[in-house]
Amino acid sequence: MDTKKSKSSKKKIPGASCEKPDKIIEQAVKLLKTGKIDEAEKKFKEISKEYPDIVQPYIGLGNIYSIKKDSKKAIEFYQKALEIEPLSEVYSNLGALYFIQGDKQKAERSFHSAIAMDGDNACAKKNLADMYFELGKYEQAIPLYEAGLLKHPEAESLIALANCYFKMGKYESAKVGYEKVLEVEPDNKTAKENLKIVNKELGK
């Protein structure tokens, strides 16, 4: 499952200057981007204690614990972030974590919340589609893959869409899908192999 770094407006605290928290947030984000995870964690925790009503440190800590593969702590911080400011990207990240934990119902609700808040959240749509595919709900996965491909025509999603058609026995549609992948990536081994399988099913 894919997670997405959240972008949101910085919440101001009445009577307090945002210069200091903004500076610490920038430092923490820079540390995280350069792989200095423990230092970034320390910075985010500092600001969350001093400015508990600012959403960014909780998102940052959620991202950090996701990287550390501590889903329980990551979920706790994302939930805290949502209490302060509901954000599509955070719902999407939560959905990915619930999926990893095996809680498909919570994952589905989180992805739907993310999409309801931001219809352009391609990450949430793809993750929800991937989950539906794994559950064998191919008809529900297809429109989500298609919506994502309108904005991000990537080989991975094209293959996933073609796989849905193959699983449903719609071999002609699957064939078209794999051929589209090869138009984008002529050397894509997965598409080549799957196309051979489809052609066998079609007797070609």
SS (H, E, C) the chain: CCCCCCCCCCCCCCCCCCHHHHHHHHHHHHHHHCCCHHHHHHHHHHHHHHCCCCCHHHHHHHHHHHHCCCHHHHHHHHHHHHHHCCCHHHHHHHHHHHHHHCCHHHHHHHHHHHHHHCCCCHHHHHHHHHHHHHCCCHHHHHHHHHHHHHHCCCHHHHHHHHHHHHHCCCHHHHHHHHHHHHHHCCCCHHHHHHHHHHHHHCCC
Instruction: Read off the pLDDT of residues 131-182 as tens digits, 9 standing for 90 and up.
Output: 999 999 999 999 999 998 888 888 999 999 999 999 999 999 999 999 999 9
- Residue 133 near residue 163 (C-beta atoms within 8 A): yes
Average the pLDDT over 114-126 and give the result: 93
Instruction: Fill in the amino acid letter for 203.
Output: G
- Residue 66 near residue 3 (C-beta atoms within 8 A): yes
b/e per residue 94-126 (b: at least 16 CB within 10 A)? bbbbbbeeeeeebbbebbebbbebbeebbbbbb
Phi and psi (nearest 5°) for 156? Answer: -60, -45
How far apart CA 68 and CA 90 sit, in angstroms, is 17
Instruction: Read off the pLDDT of residues 37-77 as tens digits, 9 standing for 90 and up.
Output: 999 999 999 889 989 999 999 999 999 999 999 999 999 99
Higher pLDDT, 175 or 2: 175
b/e per residue 166-184 (b: at least 16 CB within 10 A)? beeebbebbbebbebbeee
pLDDT of amino acid 4: 56
CB atoms near residue 156 (< 10 Å): 16
pLDDT of amino acid 56: 93
Q: Considering the entire predicted model, what is its pTM?
A: 0.80
